[in-house]
Every structure is written in structure tokens, then in C-alpha cells.
């Protein structure tokens, strides 16, 4: 990796400024907005570090969906204009400074290259024999697919819990005929198309199930902001079968492969591309739906009886 340029320095300054702005915000509103800008700068940092796959997800989930969810909470919680800090616990400041010092000095000893004979070289070698061109997709869905499986489980349980804990959903969608609603109802289909392209392209280039589902979820948020009747109706439902289908399909494919190949999720070479593509398609829809349920249920959470 090369030397840092002036652009990198400015990027880091922007990141730290927006982060500190969130930490020192006068109220919740300012904190949420700072997080939104922080997410944008973060996406730029990923691009700069050669991680386009992450930049896409960060922009759609980190800056987009997370901010949208927090905005909805803000609508209810309200924004106090007084900064509220704990006064006690000042001992944490020197402790944190000490931790920072430890980290900075320990990092001097980190090797400036990937450890030889570690996962990095093993992955590069395995990639040269794999049918999948995108290294990140290969790691996510082949070499370390079990992590991905459990992680899809994490999102499934979170979305299920949110749906069950949100209380009765209030139907208080107002029809908004604004510029935003016009824009969002027309932008949403475009985003959905891009998501499809990303999914397809993810086998070889940048993209994949996570990117596609993140974009699809963002499109869904925009669509429900437009106040279309279809969006209102969808937001009141929780289709658990759709939410869980990706997880169950992924697991069942893995088990079928285990019966045939002797290891969970061990792809036979002739099946590899087909199996991974079908898993990606199933994951795209159910992940996007789970992300949308998070947003919808938080946006419309009601008062318990």
C-alpha cells in the first residue's frame, strides 16, 4: 500500500470531525445527522482503500438505512437541545488515553504485510482454482460460508424480535404528495434494477447478495416514504416465511451438500456456480425484506395495549 496523500489526510480529518460532532452533539438530532455524514465519508474511505464491495453496503446500510431508522426514532423521542453528559467516570479519560497509547505502540509491531502461510495466501491459492471471480463473494459463500450462514441468522432473529416487540402497528400513514414522494416512487424502481445487476455481477465483479439486498432495502425505504397504498399495506404485514426463506434455503443446501460430499456446504465443482448463485438470489430477497421489516416496524411501532 502506498503513501498517504493530501486527499487521505482530508478524508481522515472529515471522518474525525463528523464523529466528534456526533459525540459532542447538543442533542439527538445533531447526533443522527452527524452519523449520516460520517457514513458518507466512511464510504469514500472504503473506496480509497480499494474495498468497493464494502463502500456500496456502507452507503446503503450505514448511511442510508441506519440513518432512516434513527430518524424515525427521533420523530418520537424528540430532540432535546441540551447536551447531557455523565459527570462521574472521569477516570475513563486517562484509561482511554492509555489504551490509545497502547494501541499506537502495539501497531508499530504489526507486520506491514499479510502473514505468510496464513488465510491470505491460502485464499489466493484457492481462488485460482475457484469458478468464482469475486474474491469477497468466494470468502463469504464458499471458504467461510458458515460465518455468513450464522450472520444471516443474526439478522433474521433481530428482524423477528423487532416485529414481535414493536407492539400493535398503528396505521397512521399520511399521504404525502411532495417532491420527495414523486422522486422516491420513481427512484425506487431504478434502485431495484441496479440491485438486480449487482446480484448478477457479484459472481465476478463487485457486488453480490449483500450489496443487492442493501440497495433493495434502500429502495423499499424510499418507496414507503412515498406513501403509496401498496407500501402502506406491506408495512403492516410481517411475512416471516419470506424473512426466513434465505436462511432456511442456505442451510438446507448446505445439509444436502453435507450428505453428498461429507462436509457442510462443501460444493462439488460442477455444482458450485449454480449452488452459489441460487443461494445469493434467495439471500438477496430475504435479507432485503428483513432489513425492511426493521425499518417498517420501527417507523410504525405503536403503543402496547
Minimum CB–partner distance for residue 177 and other proteins (Å) = 27
Q: Count the Cβ atoms, other than its own, within 10 Å of residue 258.
A: 13
The site string for other proteins over 55-84 (x = CB under 8 A, - otherwise) reads: --xx--xx--xx--xx-xxx-xx--x---x
Binding of other proteins at residue 14 (CB under 8 A)? no
- Candidates 6, 81, 85, 172: give the one binding other proteins (CB under 8 A): 85
Tell me which residues in 164-203 interact with other proteins (CB under 8 A): 164-167
Contacts of 78 (CB under 8 A, 6+ apart): 28
Binding of other proteins at residue 274 (CB under 8 A)? no
Tell me which residues in 104-143 interact with other proteins (CB under 8 A): 104-107, 109-124, 126-127, 135-136, 138-140, 142-143
Nearer residue to other proteins within complex by CB, 111 or 229: 111
Nearer residue to other proteins within complex by CB, 143 or 181: 143
The angle subtended at Cα 49 by Cα 48 and Cα 53, nearest 5°, is 95
Nearer residue to other proteins within complex by CB, 167 or 189: 167
Question: Looking up cell 417507523, which residue turns up?
Answer: 299
Tell me which residues in 214-273 interact with other proteins (CB under 8 A): 240-241, 243-244, 247-248, 251, 255, 258, 261-267
Q: Which one of 86-94, 171-179, 183-191, 226-234 is the stretch in contact with other proteins (CB under 8 A)?
A: 86-94
- Candidates 10, 92, 183, 190: give the one binding other proteins (CB under 8 A): 92
Q: CA-to-CA distance for 53 and 211, rounded, in angstroms? A: 7
Q: CA-to-CA distance for 280 and 274, rounded, in angstroms? A: 10
Cβ atoms of 208 and 137 within 8 Å: the answer is yes
3 state DSSP class of 226: coil
Binding of other proteins at residue 2 (CB under 8 A)? yes
- The Cα-based distances of 91 to 8, 24, 94, 104, 124 in angstroms read 33, 19, 6, 20, 46
Q: CA-to-CA distance for 147 and 121, rounded, in angstroms? A: 20
Amino acid at each position: 500500500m502506498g503513501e498517504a496523500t493530501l486527499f487521505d489526510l482530508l478524508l481522515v480529518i472529515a471522518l474525525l470531525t463528523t464523529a466528534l460532532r456526533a459525540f459532542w452533539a447538543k442533542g439527538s438530532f445533531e447526533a443522527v445527522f452527524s452519523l449520516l455524514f460520517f457514513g458518507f465519508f466512511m464510504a469514500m474511505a472504503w473506496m480509497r482503500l480499494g474495498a468497493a464491495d464494502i463502500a456500496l453496503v456502507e452507503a446503503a446500510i450505514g448511511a442510508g438505512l441506519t440513518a432512516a431508522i434513527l430518524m424515525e426514532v427521533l420523530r418520537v423521542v424528540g430532540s432535546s437541545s441540551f447536551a447531557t453528559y455523565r459527570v462521574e467516570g472521569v477516570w475513563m479519560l486517562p484509561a482511554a488515553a492509555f489504551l490509545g497509547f497502547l494501541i499506537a505502540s502495539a501497531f508499530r509491531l504489526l507486520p506491514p504485510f499479510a502473514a505468510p502461510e496464513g488465510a491470505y495466501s491460502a485464499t489466493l491459492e484457492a481462488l485460482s482454482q475457484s469458478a468464482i471471480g469475486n474474491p469477497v463473494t468466494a470468502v463469504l459463500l464458499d471458504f467461510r460460508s458458515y460465518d455468513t450462514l450464522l450472520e444471516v441468522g443474526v439478522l433474521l432473529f433481530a428482524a423477528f424480535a423487532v416485529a414481535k416487540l414493536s407492539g400493535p402497528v398503528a396505521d397512521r400513514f399520511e399521504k404525502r404528495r411532495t417532491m420527495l414522494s414523486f422522486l422516491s416512487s420513481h427512484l425506487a424502481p431504478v434502485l431495484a434494477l441496479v440491485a438486480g445487476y449487482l446480484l448478477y455481477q457479484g459472481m465476478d465483479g463487485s457486488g453480490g447478495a449483500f450489496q443487492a439486498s442493501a440497495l433493495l432495502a434502500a429502495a423499499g425505504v424510499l418507496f414507503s416514504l412515498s406513501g403509496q397504498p401498496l407500501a402502506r399495506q406491506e408495512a403492516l404485514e410481517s411475512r416471516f416465511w419470506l424473512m426466513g426463506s434465505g436462511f432456511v434455503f442456505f442451510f438446507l443446501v448446505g445439509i444436502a451438500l453435507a450428505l453428498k460430499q461429507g462436509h457442510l456446504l462443501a460444493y462439488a465443482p460442477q455444482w458450485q456456480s449454480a449452488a452459489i448463485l441460487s443461494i445469493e438470489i434467495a439471500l438477496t430477497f430475504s435479507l432485503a425484506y428483513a432489513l425492511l421489516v426493521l425499518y417498517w416496524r420501527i417507523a410504525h411501532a405503536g403503543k402496547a395495549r
